[in-house]
Amino acid sequence: MPDSPRRDHVCAGSLTAVVDIDAAIGFVVAHGDAVERARLSWLRTGASPSAETLDSAEVGQTLGGGWPASWGDEVASVDATCFRLAELDDLGALSRPAARRALDWLAAGQRQDGCWEEDAALADVAPEWARPGDPEARLYLTASAAFWLTVAGLDARAAGPLDHRVGGAYAGVVHAAGQALAAHLNPDGSWPSYLATGWLSAAVLHRQQLFYESARIKAVLAERIPQASPTDAAWLAATLRRVGVDEQEWTLVAARRRLAETQRSDGGWTSDDGHQFDVHTTLAAIRAFR
């Protein structure tokens, strides 16, 4: 007899929602490319990817250390580099030289106010969430860069002395970013930027032990979760779990319940960015339940 499908139950009050993880795994196997299937293997079993797969995941890195976006020609992008670091994280590859160079590039790009912006050369081609000079984009990129420097610092061990505080080699950079993010919070816990800025900021502030500020953000997010898209619910849950937020914390329970409500019959979840990113969203959901 074959094993019965593994299902994860999410309890919220008196209601229980079920996510079919085996179906999600099957969707990635059926529709993912070689890198995406390798990400699945690492998330499931910690299996090391092949050298060829890692080379494929790291391709296109600039000499400075960042990766360019599809819309940015050869100019390295903060947004694209953070996206690539997320893929490498799913391959257990944040300690490899490519990731180290990328993290060093991010750290070196922090501005005096603790924030990040895209290169001015990208002003005419960058999407709104990455547009240089836009304050909402600046806050989003700051939260994204600070998140990856927070979670990767100790593993990446960039050039120079390792600092054992949060962020490791990038502790000072992450601290400055955390202060900048906290300073932009409104009295009601909201923030003047995109929704994703909220959960990325909450994760950074959680690791900075600014628990009150992080909780204020999560209270605002909780109001949005019942209507969240699968992409947002998966990204939120995977982000908070990555920094060690307890899986029984109410924001995470709500996000995982939303994933249970939005899983398709084929096991996957629909991406906000088009069907070509459905596998990426499904991998994020798997990470949220990992």
- Tens digits of residue pLDDT in 111-169: 999 999 999 999 999 999 999 999 999 999 999 999 999 998 756 554 445 556 666 77
In a domain, 109, yes or no: no
Q: Per-residue b/e over 154-188, b at no fewer than 16 CB within 10 Å?
A: bbbebeeeeeeebbbbbbebbbbbbebbbebbeee
Would residue 75 count as lying in a domain?
A: no
Given a cut of 50, whether residue 2 has pLDDT beyond it is no
Q: How many domains does the chain have?
A: 1
Model pLDDT, residue 164: 60
Residue 203 lies in a domain: no
Average pLDDT over residues 174-198: 97
Q: Is the pLDDT of residue 56 over 80?
A: yes
183 within domain boundaries: no
Residue 256 falls within a domain, yes or no?
yes
3-state secondary structure of 52: helix
pTM over cut 0.85:
yes
248: containing domain: 17-59+244-284
Decide if 54 is inside a domain: yes
